[in-house]
Chains A and B, each alone.
Chain A
Amino acid sequence: MLIYLPIAELPVNILLILALGGLGGILAGMFGIGGGFLLTPLLMFIGVPPAVAVATSTNQIIASSVSGFMAHWHRKNVDIKMGTYLLIGGLLGAVIGVWLFSILKQLGQIDLAISLIYVIFLGTIGTFMAIESSKTIFKQSRGIISAPEKGRFLTWLHALPLPLRTHFPRSDLEISGVLPILVGVIAGIMVALMGIGGGFVTIPAMIYILRMPTSVVVGTSLYQIIFTTSLVTVLHATSTQSVDIVLAALLIVGGVIGAQFGTIIGLKLRAEKLRILLALMVLGVCIKLALGLFIEPDDLYSIVEIIK
């Protein structure tokens, strides 16, 4: 069953796209991560231009974040005030990120930039995940129950003489508002350049840098992601016309179905063993992207039509 993607300008198999969206959804349901970091490269592998893959992924994340956020909202696991500070940074980062994106596109370097950022990002994440999960499996096989690690909090950041000291009642924190804004800026840039939600950055930062209670971290991050990805989608649509609504809709449908399975699988299986599988997948995608950068292309010349 083929469908023509109007912006990617490519005929694709509907079932393949639903399956890719589904894979993202399963990951989200199992591990509570967005899956955007795998979806964007996978779309690139099937021939979707990197810029379209990034912009459309961002569009798709809006949907998964809204349904995730609503679940957390019902359980009151959202710090709206902290989320809004993150969001101010996120929106600022989004504008900077899309601006960088369109300059890189004009220079003909956007495909390279996306691949390069992904190779670095996936390489780092994949390696850490593989080490962590093999350690856990090893300890479990020896019957060692590891105590939660301490001393990883970056408390010294709270002591910095930063302005805008603010009280966040839901998280029971009194810190400088500059910290969540900065975290948001970095996340927003990553949303625009990579087509991910940015949870990979915000969630660890909220735990280790802001020291928010873990119960509110995911809901607050999703709250921020909804608005950041919405702004990035509109900005991509207006600056580079690279959002493919047909592709996004198919990915969303696949993602919704996949998330239901993912939740069930996640409840039944031990996550540690699956986590190493995920790590291998991440490293596999990373290596494939890296090969594309280093192997001499068949044709050194590429032709682009400029639409005025």
Chain B
Amino acid sequence: MIRTLCLIILALCPLLSITKAQATPIIADLAIRSVDIDHNFDGLNVLMYGAQNDAGRIVVALRGPKKTYVVRRKERIAGIWVNKKSISFEDTNSFYALASTHQLADIRNDNLLNNLEIGINNIHLTAITRKGEPVDEATEKIFKDALIKAKLSNKLYSGTVEPVSFWGETLFRTTLEFPKNISRGWYTAEIYLFSDGILRAVQSTPIEVSKIGMSAFIFDAAHNNSLLYGIMCVLMALIAGWSANALFKRT
């Protein structure tokens, strides 16, 4: 929420404050604006390039579409491992990766980074119970850590900060890595410029990740037209069974 507000204010800043003609502090674009996942998709690196006109440190954040996750913990009951406690996390980025010219600590404003959700420990995750009630802090931390750990091991969250490299003084580039197991939806590549612990500029570029091909078609049919899909499954099996009988009739 705070992050969105910051983004809006920053987006408006140039409109309010620019009195004389002035180059944008930072401008960037992506080599492609959409990613198609087909059955042999094996991940994709997307080039982000741009120009930096003011001094400062660049941070790029790639964030995936927001999802709801349920984290469940197994406990031993009568010798058997059973899912016991479960905590939900709503509005959680399904993907998260960073790139920067510097170490995040060099930005020298941890509060700002936290508000902007920059850094793996600054991602805002609010835990609620199945009934939608809030969760005490200790429990929240345990389940939040479990969620981030799972995301890190699936490579859907990145714990490291990738480099942003320069060509000369102003031109820079970095690669945004989309792993093979990303989910579809709208991603945003956000680029931030910091100097003296202050956010100087921000730009956000959307990227659409979509699934194409037969598998995506079947998945959509099963979820959006589930009755028709179910009937099709039954018909397929009935016809297959009947054909098998006709094919191998009493020898």
Give chain A's interface residues, CB within 8 Å of chain B.
4, 6-7, 59-60, 62-67, 70-71, 107-109, 112, 116, 226, 230, 233-238, 241, 243, 245-246, 248-249, 252-253, 256, 259-260, 293-297, 299-308
Contact = CB atoms under 8 A, between A and B. Distances in A.
Interface stretch (B7-15, B24-32, B192-200, B216-224): B216-224
A248 B236 contact: yes
Given A63-B244, A243-B222, A246-B218, 13 more contacts: A4-B215, A112-B80, A233-B230, A233-B234, A237-B222, A238-B227, A241-B223, A243-B233, A245-B229, A252-B244, A301-B146, A303-B72, A303-B151
B3 interface: no
B167 interface: no
Given A63-B238, A252-B237, A304-B70, A234 B80 contact: no
B242 A234 contact: no
A266 B245 CA distance: 18
Given A67-B244, A252-B237, A293-B80, A238 B230 contact: yes
Q: Is the interface of B mostly helix, strand, loop or mixed?
A: helix
Interface of B: 39, 67-76, 79-83, 86, 88, 94, 143, 146-147, 149-151, 183, 214-216, 218-219, 222-223, 226-227, 229-234, 236-238, 240-242, 244-245, 247-248, 250
Contact of A109 (B82, B149, B226, B241): B82
Top 4 A-B residue pairs of the complex, sorted by shortest distance between their CB atoms: A237-B230, A66-B241, A63-B241, A62-B237
Q: Which of B83, B88, B147 has the most CB of A within 10 A?
A: B83
Contact of A66 (B69, B222, B229, B238): B238
A243 B244 contact: no
27 contacts: A4-B215, A7-B222, A59-B233, A63-B240, A63-B241, A63-B244, A112-B82, A233-B230, A234-B230, A237-B222, A237-B226, A238-B226, A241-B222, A243-B229, A245-B222, A246-B215, A256-B248, A260-B248, A293-B81, A296-B76, A296-B81, A301-B146, A301-B147, A301-B149, A305-B94, A306-B88, A307-B223
